[in-house]
Amino acid sequence: MIFTKINKENIKILYPFLYQNHYRLCDYSPLVLLLWRNYLDYRYCIEGDTLFLSQSEKGVTSFLLPITEDMYNALILLKEHCKKNRLPFRLVALPESMTKTVKQITGLNAIDMGASNIDYAYDINSLSTLKGRRYSGKRNHINRFTRDFPDAQFVKLTAKDKHLVIDFLEQYHKDSISDAYSYYKDAVDKFASCFDEFDFLSGAIKMEGKLIAICFGDIVKDTLYVNIEMALRSYSGIYEKINHEFINKYHHQNLLYVNREEDMGDLGLRKAKLSYHPFLWRKYAIIES
């Protein structure tokens, strides 16, 4: 098995697998693999009808769950690869629904990867309507934004808007002081220079000829992913507005969930994601001793 580094030129080769996976975790979404390809050194290997994905962090190589219809033979092949290359057999980002299957095949118990590795998922109908008392604060923020900024509009982004996206990011980064997002900042900046080369979902709030919020995402089977969501906090209610508009723009009858990814250990981000009353999709790992 030969693993090739993922880049923007070969990511589309993986689409037939990525868009058919049923794991619902952000780790397997195309835009996450593209954005974090250098930070986690994402690599892929296609063997027959199976996609293998690897990542490396601090010199430690791990593998995501193979995307396949034949999990038994895929895991056996992966274990043989690890043995041949003197690598510990490490699986990460296992959805809870697959832990029993993997244990039956490998004989190994899965362990919880912890709070910083949880995906925040939501019922898409709840987020699209924001009905009920528990969403009253969100509705109030959106209504106030609409009242204060009546000329603001939600728009889809095209290649013609690239300069506006780049200008927005320059302004956004002035407000961002967290070192935790230094890599993410660079990754999004690079993506902004080529987003029109892909078919990812996009949206922005535009006002007076400039952007004050942007959002990029994707749909995999029954889940809408929100992979990038940035806004200028000086506009009160802007995050509630872009979130609501983006979800309603792309919501259709076959969608059940919105996945807004992890909080990366950022307590402020965790609080914001929890305020929308999520399901917590925990992730598991298998590490052979």
Confidence band of 238 (pLDDT split at 50, 70, 90): very high
Q: What is the pLDDT of residues 173-200, one digit of tens each?
A: 876 555 556 888 889 999 999 999 999 9
Domain boundary among 115, 139, 170: 115
Neighbours of 209 (CB within 10 A): 6
**Strand ranges inside 27-169, DSSP E:** 43-47, 50-57, 60-64, 90-95, 111-112, 119-123, 153-155
Chain-wide mean pLDDT for the chain? 95
Closest of 149, 185, 197, 189 to residue 165, by C-alpha:
189
Same domain, 80 and 154: no
pLDDT of residue 288: 87
CB 247 within 8 A of CB 128: yes
The secondary structure element, H or E, covering residue 219 is: strand 210-220
CATH of residue 111's domain is 3.40.630.30
**C-alpha to C-alpha distance for 235 and 164, rounded to whole angstroms:** 17
Whether residue 135 is predicted with pLDDT greater than 60 in this model: the reply is: yes
Mean pLDDT for the stretch of residues 140-148: 97
Q: Is 254 inside any structural domain?
A: yes
Neighbours of 171 (CB within 10 A): 13
Q: Which residues contact 143 (CB under 8 A, 6 or more apart)?
A: none
pLDDT of residue 173: 87
Whether residue 13 is predicted with pLDDT greater than 80 in this model: the reply is: yes
pLDDT of residue 185: 87
34 alpha-carbon distance from chain centroid: 10
Closest of 137, 127, 151, 129 to residue 235, by C-alpha:
151
Same domain, 58 and 126: no
C-alpha distance across the termini of the chain, in Å = 22
Confidence band of 147 (pLDDT split at 50, 70, 90): very high
Mean pLDDT for the stretch of residues 259-272: 90
Residue type, 53: L
Half-sphere exposure of 171 (CA within 13 A, CB side): 17
| % of the chain exceeding 90 in pLDDT | 90
Q: Is 183 exposed, middle or buried (CB count within 10 Å of its CB: 0-12, 13-18, 19+)?
A: middle
Same domain, 144 and 205: yes
CB 225 within 8 A of CB 219: yes
Same domain, 109 and 125: no
Q: Could you tell me which residues are beta bridge partners of residue 204? A: 155, 214
Q: Is 278 inside any structural domain?
A: no
Same domain, 129 and 28: no
- Give the range of the structural domain holding residue 227, as residue numbers without chain letter: 119-261
Same domain, 178 and 128: yes
pLDDT of residue 226: 98
Same domain, 102 and 150: no
Domain boundary among 66, 87, 115: 115
Same domain, 206 and 99: no
Mean pLDDT for the stretch of residues 242-253: 96
Same domain, 101 and 190: no
| % of the chain exceeding 70 in pLDDT | 98
Mean pLDDT for the stretch of residues 208-229: 97
Q: Is 283 inside any structural domain?
A: no
The secondary structure element, H or E, covering residue 269 is: helix 267-274
**C-alpha to C-alpha distance for 101 and 158, rounded to whole angstroms:** 43
Mean pLDDT for the stretch of residues 255-262: 97
Query: Own/partner pairs for 197-201, CB < 8 Å, 24+ apart?
Result: 197/8, 198/34, 200/30, 200/31, 200/227, 201/246, 201/249, 201/250
Same domain, 140 and 95: no
Q: Is 272 inside any structural domain?
A: no
